[in-house]
Every structure is written in structure tokens, then in C-alpha cells.
Structure 1
Amino acid sequence: MSKKASSYLKGATILTAAGFLSRLLGLFFKVPLYRIVGSFGNGIYGNVTNIYNMLLMVSTVGIPVAISKMVSESTAVGDYRGAKDVFKVSTAALLVLGAVSSMILGFGAHAIIRLAHWPKESYAAIIAIAPAPFIISVCSSFRGFFQGFQIMTPTAVSQILEQIVRVALGIFLCWYFMQGAMRSVGKSVGGAVFGATAGGIIAALFLAYVFWIFMSTYRKKLRTTTRKRPRRWQSILKRLIIIAIPVTLTSVIVSLFATINSFIYVGRLSVAGISAHTATEMFGDFTNVDTLVNVPLVISSNLAVAMIPAISESFALREKKLMNHKIDLAIRIIILAGLPFCVGMSVLSTAIFRLLFPGSKYGPGMLQVFAYATMFMMLSNTFQSILQSIDRFRVPLVTLSLGIIVFTVTGWITMAIPAINIYGMGIDYMLTFIYLTVANYACVKKFTGVRIHWRQSVLKPIVSAAVMGLATAAVYNGLFPHIGNVLSILLAFVAAVLVYSFMIVFTGVLSDEEMDVMPGKNKLMPIYHRIVGLRKRVFSR
């Protein structure tokens, strides 16, 4: 494995590990939240965070991607002063967009509630989270700069800090506003979402401190350039807009999936004969499912952060062979790491809800199906990021624009059918992301010529995950009547890790080169070689 590919894999690993920890903290946030405010309060939380996430996409996704890509392109040719100029111009643009998003939430709270037919208790939560887009814009600017230099640790640490503050303060305030005479579900949810605002402040302060150290350390280097003349801010802004607008619109459309459901589910479920209060409770259960599937989704989201500057660098230097190697590696990582999560969540759906969200009526059934849609979401996101890395920004925009039509029509029809009702949300995600995966892959293949090793990267991981799923279900179902839910899940998880690890080595999914960059390789290599030896003996007969 080349040094550049190894560095790219290391950056992806750092962000993925931090992302997992961050999402697990988010899961620990949702469990007490659900137990404090119930399904109804959880529904309010889901409503507010969905529209917040959409505005966050507008203000904090496209420009950070553009920053990391433009900084990476500048440093690849030795223009370090240009990288610093990119940061200055883009930060100003980000702050403007963040301020606008915050004002929309703050001044438009009542209008949003009326338009979506949400409960009036949603107001406190909207106001509590209104400052967050502006604050997260500051974080995004710093993160994009560091990612452009392929320095992933500041992003990783800031994500963890942000989540720690969000969970600790959010849960305390959520509990506090449900006590005694002040008891209020609306204020309680407002306290919970305020944790995101406070977490963003702490993350921004940390990133500003790291940036100050970085600038002090590399002050001389950041003055060097290979250009005869420095780039004008107008040209930087133009390039920023060319990259950021398609990426932003793409991200907004992705966030629209959840927002559309938030705006139509009450009306469509009423057609199926379900009251607004029950519909909000159903949606509250769905948000728990969404929280769970977000854990494996962190693989694709953080891999994308590492992938865009790494592939952009190879693209700028016209290193096609290395670029295609990075693309193939990214796809393999997604499938290899994502499949066991999806299968495991599906076969243990009832057990997981018994443990984390007891009393949830609709959650287990939704997770059982929705878990498999997650795999297609991860693949679609990966292909989308690859297209953005090679300057094909408009292509994901076109495929997603068609996807939103598929999603809206499917959800509109299925949720109004009494026998399907809330489960229509899982159906619309599944069908939409199958389409997006196929469409985005076809485009990646067309523009890069990359060849996926289907047997190695797809078929063998599917076989390994299927065997793991059967073993996991057998262990849990065999033990549950005797030792209860918690220990059965724990032992089923251990069995899943052991069986899947054995299978991916036994089937030859992992190569010697890939094992060589694994953390703790010295302890793992003897076990690896024993399984390889067993495979050779079995297949040589």
C-alpha cells in the first residue's frame, strides 16, 4: 500500500473512530431523553432537529467541503499562502450563512409550527437551538481548513467535545424542566436541544485554540507560494461558490428526506385513521430508529471527510491509478464495515429496543427493515463524495433531485395506507437509496473508469455478514430465555465480532497489505496467519 493511500486510510480511521464515539454519545443522549419525555416529547425533538439539520446543511456543509478541497489543491502544488487566503474568504461566507439560518429559526419559529401543524410545545425547542447554526458555522470553517491539510485530529476531538457537552448539559436541563411545578414537556425538550448549542460553543473555542497554535507554528510556511501573484479574493469566492452551491444543494436535498417526513406524516397518517397525538408518538419511535442507524452511517460520513481532500489531491496531480485505488479502497471499507452493523441491528432489533427504548411499540419493526436501507445510504453517500472529489458536483444534484421525487411519492402513498402507516417511512428510504446507489455508482464508473472487485469487495462480505447474522440470532434466541436480555445481547455481540472477524479472513476479504495497517497488527497477525493456513488447507483438498 502506498504512503499516500496509507495516510488517507489513517485519516479515515481517526475520523471514523471519533465519529463512532460521538454517535454512541448521541445514543446515550436519546435513551434518557426518551425515558424522560416519552414518545410524544421524542416526536417534538425529532421535528425540531430535522428542520435544524436542514438549515445546518445550508450553512455548514458545502463551504467546508469546498474549503478542504481548495486547501488540498493549493497545498498539493505548494501554494500555502493561497490555502490561508481560501480560509479567510470562506470563513466570512460561512458566518453570513450561519447567521441567516439562525435568524430563520429564531424569528420564524411560530410560522414553522403553523405550517407543519406541530404541537405548540415545539416553540421552546426551536428557540433553544436557533443560535446553533451560526456557532457550528465557525466550527465548520476550522474543520474544513484542517481537513484540507489532511489533519483529522482537531475535527475528531472537537466532535467528541461537542457531544460530551451536548449530552451532559442537555440531559440535565431535560430532567430539570420535568420536575415539580415547572413540569413541561416543551421546555424539557428545549433544554435537551440547547445542549447542541452549548456543545457547539465549546467545540468552536477548542478549534480556535488549535488553529492559533497551527498558525503560530507554521507562520513562515503559510507565507510561501508557487504563484507569481496571489489569488484575488473575488476569484477565491467564485471558485468557492462553484464548488459549494452544488454540494450544499445536494446536502439540503438529502436533509429534505427527513424534513419532508416531518411535514407530511401527521396529515398522511390522519388519512389512515390515526390521530395527531398518536402520529407524533409513532414519529417519536421512528426518531429512535434514526438514532440507531446513524451509528453505522458515521462510517460513510467520516470516510467522505477524509476521502474528498485525498482524492482531490490525486485528481489535481493527475494520479489516476492512485485515485482509483483510493476509490476502490473506500468502497471496500464501506461494505466491509457497514454490513455487519446493518445485519446485526436487524436480527437484534427487538432486543435493542427492549434494552434502550422499552415500551416502544413501533420501533423494533421499523428497525428490522430500516437497518438494510442504511447500507444503501452509506454506499450512495460514498459515491456522491467521490463525484464531488473529481469536480462532478452537479451529477449528485441531478440524481438526488430525481430521488426526492421517488421518496415523496412513495411516502405520500404508503403512509396513508392503514396496513402500512408509519412503516411507509422505511419503505420510502429503502426504494430511494437503492435507486441513488445504482445511479451514483454508474456515474462514478463512467467518469473514473474504476473497477470494483465484486467477488472480493461485495460477495465475500455479504456471505460473511450472513453467517454472522445467523450466529448472532442463534446465540441471542438460545440464551434469552435463560439469562435475560442484557447478557444475551452482550454474548450475541461477542459472537458476532468473533464470527465476522473469522469469516472475513477465512473468505480472503482482508489481504496482508490491509492487515499491515491495522491498529494492533502485532497481536492480530498470528491469529490472521492461522486462519489463512486453515483456509488453504480446506480449499486445497
Structure 2
Amino acid sequence: MSSKLLRGTFILTLGTIISKVLGLFYVIPFYAIVKDQGTALYQFSYVPYTIFISIATAGVPLAVSKFISKYNAMGEYAVGRKLFKSGIAVMLATGTISFLVMYFSATMLADLSLSSAEENPDLNKDDVATVIRAVSFALIVVPFMSLIRGFFQGHQSMGPSAVSQVVEQIVRIVFVLAGAYIVLNVMNGSIVSAVSVATFAAFIGAIGSLVVLGWYWFKRKPHLDELLKQDKGTIDISLKNIYKEILVYAAPFVFVGIANPLFQFIDQITFERAMTSIGKGAEATAAFAILNFQTHKLVIIPVSLATAFSLTLVPSITKAFVEKNYNSLKQQLDQTFQVLLYLTVPATIGLALLAEPAFTIFYEHKELGTDILRLYAPVAILFALFSVTAAVMQGINEQRFTVLSLLTGLLVKLSLNIPLIKMFETEGAVLATALGYLAAVLINLFVIKKFAQYQFKMVIRRGFLIMIFSGLMAGVTYAAYLGVTLWLSPAEKFSSILIIVICALIGVAIYFYLGFRTKLINLLFGDKVDRVKQKLRLPL
């Protein structure tokens, strides 16, 4: 891999990480401003928006990037420019259509989300519809913006995408927090108005990103025009074939991208009704906010970390499969799954153990929040497994089964959600999500076993070892937690920060010590570990 490509990949990865970190920590001041009712309203609008935007743009930057990079390598620069010119009109059209559909279906989405019963004193359908309309405006801009990012990435220019991502997130968060605060505390407005402003921030953030991308375009256009002059002109591909190729590239990412939002949407359209049916309608808003917004934000943390490491191995899986090098394919799959488990399992166990102080830091001390986070945290392992197995299936050219596994998982979730909520209340929704994802992951694993001729013996053995290490780490960490909480209270924010720092450091030290002593880290991460050890002067 060239140094330019490595640098570009690093820049894009760094931009994504910064964007995700900002997207996590803004919830602390946002929750302080709008509380449970506000976060529930926010999520009622954002889940449908995420589904719409995933369908409209998921995979577009990567698909466009892959397409343009392919034809640029052949010296056919005009093909990529042809896609870009037509894509501007197409993306503006699809974005506008998506906006109109979401805007005018807001009342229907609100009807799906809330029951007709009047047992919920916090929210009504008009409130939900108003907030959904506010967020829908972002659909006009985001697809068009995604196309430009993909165009730059196809020319091995990752800076515009990375910078625009960070700027988009910063502008959005500033508008979310400032807007909600001003509406509630300066203008004495309603919580619905405050959350509407907060969701409209998605449009403002996208405009900020578009300004950055426009600046990069005018700055780099002379260079892009020079490349166009070098076009060989030997290939004349029709727009129909261009978009057919783009759809083939993008389709798998659409299904992976909408999986989690669809599971959340099932909760959105069933949770309040199920809670109302058992006489818990008055508690439904706060419980939904905890389930679908507050704990979910924390559960996604270990998923992002593990999948980022694991997915870097997928290109080598694709290469080994295409070349029919099954020994190399087996090694790559072994490493991918082991890295995933090595990073995700201890992170989720640690989050479950420290659920009380973690929830207190981000929101406030709340028993239901602690209970849900403790139960929800291990489900992150299934989230990560679904993402990685779906990517592997694309690598072995069996992405068609992603649709089957996702639909099966959604069917399990939809079938079990209401009965389990009636039996276990909010915990029932978490259990239904876990069972749905488990069904989807099992199908993916079966497909990989069959079509990649892959046996999971090594992963199962190492998985047991990782569970033993995680268990030892959990035991020591829990003992430390019990000791620390004799002096520090997990009900207070500052004390909770100290508790997490102390316990997390102890847990990480134990876990990685075991990994170093058994050489498991060396087997998973190779020579990089030795270089890190030398720099840190570790004696292990």
C-alpha cells in the first residue's frame, strides 16, 4: 500500500473517530437541557431519519469512491467525471424526494409510534410529527454531500471527507445545544420547539459540511481538470451501466447500515403500546428514552472500536477468496473474529460492571438506566458480529444472504418484542433485540462456514480463552469497584468519573497483562505489539 493511500486512510479514520467521539459526548449537556421527554422526542424523529438517510446514502461515498478509483487506474478519468455530473442531479432529486416523503409521512410515523390511548402525559402525536418534519430537511443536502465525499475519496483525497465530517458534527452539535438551550431558557419555549431546533441541526450541520467540500472543490478543480486532459477515452460506459455498478457496490452497505435503526424502529412502533397495555403508559416516555437513546449511545462505543479494527482485515479476506487461497482465507478469518472478540468481550463486560457510574456520568443517577445498560451492554457483541460477518460475506461475494439474515432477525424481533415487553417491561425489548441479532448472526456464520469452507475451531478455542481472561478481569475489577465505592458514590458525577478511571485502569491492566503473558496479543496483532512494547519499555 502506498504511503499516500496509508496517509489518506489514516486521515479519514481519524476524522471518523473524532466525529464519533463528538457525537457521543454531546449527549451529556443535551440530556441536561432536555431530560427524558426531550431525548425521547429526539429519538422518535431520529430513528426514521436514520433509516431514510441510510437508504439514500449508505455506501454511496464508498461505492462512488470504488467506481472512480477503478476507472482512474485505467486512465479513464472522464468516466468518473460523467458519474459525478449526473450524480449531482440524481442525488439532489433523490434527496428532495426523500425529504418530501418523510415530511408528509410525519403524521403517519407519529401514529405508528404512539398509541391512541391517553395514558402518556408526556408526548402526543402532533409533537412527534412536528419533530420528524424538522429533521427531514437534512435529507435534501446529505445525499448530495455524500456524492462529493465519494468523488474526492475516489481520487485518493481523504482530507475533504475527514474535515467535512468533523465540521458537520461540530456545527450540528453547537446548533443542537445552543438552539435547545436558547429556546427553553431564553425564549421560554416548549420542549417540542427545543427538540425541533435540535433535530433541524442535522440540516445546518450538512450545510456546514457542504461549504467545506465546496471550498475543497474550487481549490482542487485545476488539478482535477488536468487529470481529465489525460483521459484515454477508450471506454464509453452508459449511465445505466454506471448506476448498475454503483448499486452493486452500495447495496450491501445499505442493509448493514439500516440494521440497527430498523431494530430501534420496531421498538419505536411497539414499545409505548405494549407498555400502555400493561398499565405502564405513564412510564413509557422515560423508559423509551433510556432504551433507545441513552443506553444505546453507550452500548455502541465498544462496537465502533472493535469493528474498526476488524474491518481493516476484510480486503485481505476478499483477495484470498478471489485467488482461492483457502489457507490464507482461513488465517484472515481466524484473525478477524479473534480480534473482534478480544476487543469487544472485555469492553462490554466492563461496561456492564460499571453501568451505574457510566450512566450517572452521561445522564443522571437512575436505577432503570443502570439496569437497562447492564443488560444491554453484552448485546454489543452481537451488534459487532453482525457488522463484521456481513462485511466478510461481501468479501466472499455472498452478500445476498445479508438480506435474508437481516429480515430473519427483524422478524424475530418483531414477533417477540411485544410479548417480552409485557413480561419483562423495558428489559423485554433488550432481550428481543438480542434474540433477533443472534438469529441474524447465526445465519451469517452458517453462510461463511458453507461458502468459505471455514471451520470455527480456532475461534471457539480462542473464544474460551478470551472469556476466561475477561472473567478474571471482571472478578478483579468488581472487587476494586466494591472497594472504591466504600468511599466514592456512583450517584454523583465527579465520583463516578473517578470510579470508572480507577476500575477501568485496573481492568485494562489485568486483561492486557494476561494477553501479553500468553502471547495472545502477539498472535492477533503481530509485530506491531513488539514495537509498542519497546516504545513503552514493557518487561512483558
TM-score by length of 1: 0.85
Tell me the equivalent position of 2:432.
428
Tell me the equivalent position of 1:109.
106
1:514 aligns with 2:525: yes
Q: Which has the higher contact order (CA 8 A, sep 6+)?
A: 1
1:194 to 196, 200, 203: 200
User: Sequence identity of aligned pairs in percent?
Assistant: 22
* Cα pair 1:64 1:143 within 8 Å, conserved: yes
Deviations 1:83-111 (A, max 9, x none): 44444444543333222222223233233
Change (3 A) 1:75 1:181: closer
Written as runs of structure 1 = structure 2, the 5 A alignment for 1:205-354 is 205-213=211-219, 215-217=221-223, 219-221=225-227, 228-245=234-251, 247-249=253-255, 251-275=257-281, 277-286=282-291, 287-299=293-305, 302=308, 327-354=333-360
Q: Which runs of 5+ in 2 are unaligned?
A: 115-122, 489-494
Change (3 A) 1:132 1:264: same
Helix, strand or coil for the counterpart of 1:416?
A: helix
1:40 to 4, 14, 37: 37
1:474 aligns with 2:475: no
Separation in structure 2 between the aligned mates of residue 316 and residue 93 of structure 1, nearest angstrom: 33
* Cα pair 1:16 1:298 within 8 Å, conserved: no
TM-score by length of 2: 0.85
Tell me the equivalent position of 2:364.
358
1:505 aligns with 2:516: yes
Helix, strand or coil for the counterpart of 1:228?
A: coil
* Cα pair 2:152 2:158 within 8 Å, conserved: yes
Separation in structure 2 between the aligned mates of residue 499 and residue 477 of structure 1, nearest angstrom: 17
* Cα pair 2:255 2:406 within 8 Å, conserved: no
Q: How much does 1:45 deviate?
A: 1.0
1:168 aligns with 2:165: no
> What is the one-letter code of the residue matched to 1:204?
L
Q: How much does 1:18 deviate?
A: 4.1
Helix, strand or coil for the counterpart of 1:177?
A: helix
* Cα pair 2:32 2:363 within 8 Å, conserved: yes
* Cα pair 1:247 1:393 within 8 Å, conserved: no
Tell me the equivalent position of 1:536.
none
Written as runs of structure 1 = structure 2, the 5 A alignment for 1:399-478 is 399-417=405-423, 420-450=424-454, 453-454=458-459, 458-478=463-483
Change (3 A) 1:87 1:52: same
Structure 1 residues 466-475 or 209-218, which shifts more? 209-218
* Cα pair 2:315 2:395 within 8 Å, conserved: yes
Change (3 A) 1:73 1:350: same
Separation in structure 2 between the aligned mates of residue 124 and residue 330 of structure 1, nearest angstrom: 44
Q: How much does 1:213 deviate?
A: 4.6
Q: How much does 1:363 deviate?
A: 1.3
Change (3 A) 1:494 1:517: same
Structure 1 residues 457-466 or 12-21, which shifts more? 12-21
Q: Which runs of 5+ in 1 are unaligned?
A: 532-541
Change (3 A) 1:380 1:236: same
Change (3 A) 1:77 1:189: same
Tell me the equivalent position of 2:117.
none
Structure 1 residues 147-156 or 310-319, which shifts more? 310-319
Helix, strand or coil for the counterpart of 2:280?
A: coil
2:67 to 52, 70, 73: 70
* Cα pair 1:41 1:185 within 8 Å, conserved: yes
Separation in structure 1 between the aligned mates of residue 444 and residue 233 of structure 2, nearest angstrom: 36
Deviations 1:398-424 (A, max 9, x none): 11111111111121210122xx11111
Change (3 A) 1:13 1:405: farther
> What is the one-letter code of the residue matched to 2:36?
S
CA RMSD of aligned residues (A): 3.4
Q: How much does 1:503 deviate?
A: 2.4
Deviations 1:415-446 (A, max 9, x none): 122xx111112101211222222211221233
1:487 aligns with 2:498: yes
Change (3 A) 1:383 1:215: farther
1:141 aligns with 2:152: no
* Cα pair 1:45 1:125 within 8 Å, conserved: yes
1:59 to 51, 56, 60: 56
Q: How much does 1:153 deviate?
A: 4.7
Change (3 A) 1:224 1:72: same
> What is the one-letter code of the residue matched to 2:444?
N
Tell me the equivalent position of 1:525.
534
Deviations 1:231-279 (A, max 9, x none): 222211222234444543554454211111101111111122111x420
Helix, strand or coil for the counterpart of 1:481?
A: coil
* Cα pair 1:12 1:303 within 8 Å, conserved: no
1:93 aligns with 2:82: no
Q: How much does 1:513 deviate?
A: 8.9
